[in-house]
Amino acid sequence: MSHVDVLKLHELKATPQRLCVLDVLEKYGHATLEDIEKYTKVKFSTLSLSTIYRNINEMLKKGILSEVKLANKKDHYEITKANHAHLVCIQCGKIEDFTINTQELLQKAETLTCNKIYNITLSFNTICKECLSAK
Amino acid sequence: MSHVDVLKLHELKATPQRLCVLDVLEKYGHATLEDIEKYTKVKFSTLSLSTIYRNINEMLKKGILSEVKLANKKDHYEITKANHAHLVCIQCGKIEDFTINTQELLQKAETLTCNKIYNITLSFNTICKECLSAK
DNA sequence: GTATTTGCAAATGATTTGCAGTGCT
DNA sequence: AGCACTGCAAATCATTTGCAAATAC
């Protein structure tokens, strides 16, 4: 689905400002507020910071975007997608999506806790191949 | 090990302010900055907010404390302990520690990514028993 | 045409810092 | 005694808000 359609589906107008934020997130996968400000300014030099804040909050509320919160890192944002894990480089900070089946883990947790588990948040700290070969 | 010893081990003086913060974290398990401010003030009414900030940052840097970052929640802090998962109630927000063996998962991720994984961050969203029975 | 959205500037909130005084070891 | 630590006030940084003008549909 196009970004225009996603916005309309959530009753938000498809303004160039919003589309620009979504394009940046699409392109970079995960970005902090500063990243978004920096990258959007390239294509859209008049985009104001308050508009970025407002739109991110709105799109979070609608579920179009999700927060990615990692220890010792600024919050990142991503376009909401199916449940997935993150592979985080502890050296350069790069974040990659990583599809892994967590069904087994979820069931294990349900058994151990006797609770229904609705959702898992999972990330792996690693050193990426670029950082490894760069030393 | 006592909190005094932990601080000395990391070359930090065992001031009443630091001990008070550690006591609160020990007692509550996980706490936000506001929680810490509120709970420490009960026993230590003159403890200043800047001291809390400074000490939390210092103890984070030394590894005595860890950040707990969860979607849609203020950051929490905990005393660093062996790798463990969090069980988070999506209704009341309570956070519980939860020991689960992640070795298998770690190995699966290493195989899939061909990377060495150093650490896993894992949390489960659930509805706790109190919230379930309270409805 | 109208309701939403935007940019700007100002307000608010969160965190850090400088410094003089205090207190741990 | 000496240096690390604290509290306070001010500075800085981050986020939100009010409002008039602009724009999506």
The amino acid at residue A82 is: A
**B133 CB contact with strand D at below 7 Å:** no
The verdict on B41 and B104 lying in the same domain is no
Q: Which residue bears the tokens 């008049």?
A: A46
Shortest-distance nucleotide from A51 CA to C1' = C6
Q: What is the mean pLDDT of residues A107-129?
A: 95
Contact A97, A112 (CB under 8 A): no
Task: Give the up-direction half-sphere exposure of residue A133: CA atoms within 13 A in the CB hemisphere.
Answer: 4
Q: Of B41, B63, B79, at which residue does a domain stop?
A: B79
The verdict on B7 and B48 lying in the same domain is yes
What span, in angstroms and rounded, lies between the C-alpha atoms of A88 and A94?
6
CB contact under 8 A, A121 and B122: yes
The verdict on B22 and B72 lying in the same domain is yes
Chain A residues within 8 A of B121 when measuring between CB atoms: 70-71, 121-125
The verdict on A73 and A96 lying in the same domain is no
DSSP type of residue A73? S
The verdict on B120 and B98 lying in the same domain is yes
The verdict on A58 and A8 lying in the same domain is yes
Q: Domain count for chain B, please give it.
A: 2
Of A70, A118, A124, the CB nearest to B126: A118
Confidence (pLDDT) at A113: 92
What span, in angstroms and rounded, lies between the C-alpha atoms of A115 and A113?
5
The verdict on A119 and A55 lying in the same domain is no
Confidence (pLDDT) at A134: 83
CATH number where A45 lies:
1.10.10.10
The verdict on B90 and B60 lying in the same domain is no
List, chain by chain, residues whose CB lies under 7 Å from nucleic acid strand C: A 12-13, 15, 17-18, 46-48, 50-51, 54-55; B 4, 8, 13-16, 33, 49-50, 53-54, 57
**A10 CB contact with strand D at below 7 Å:** no
In which domain, by residue range, is B50 found?
3-79
Q: Phi and psi (nearest 5°) for A64?
A: -70, -35
Contact B25, B79 (CB under 8 A): yes
The verdict on B11 and B41 lying in the same domain is yes
Q: At what angle do helices B33-43 and B49-62 cross, to 10 degrees?
A: 120
Q: What is the largest CA-CA distance in chain B?
A: 53
CATH number where B94 lies:
3.30.1490.190
Complete DSSP assignment for A6-51:
HHHHTT----HHHHHHHHHHHHHSSB-HHHHHHHHHHH-TT--HHH
Q: Which residue bears the tokens 């191949």?
A: A129
The verdict on B101 and B72 lying in the same domain is no
pTM of the predicted protein model:
0.94
Closest-approach residue (CA) in chain A for B73: A69
Closest-approach residue (CA) in chain B for A113: B98
What span, in angstroms and rounded, lies between the C-alpha atoms of A79 and A30?
8
Kindly give the confidence (pLDDT) of every residue in chain B, 135 residues in length, as a single tens digit, with 9 standing for 90 and above. 899 999 999 999 999 999 999 999 999 999 999 999 999 999 999 999 999 999 999 999 999 999 999 998 999 999 999 989 999 999 999 999 999 988 989 999 999 999 999 999 999 999 999 998 986
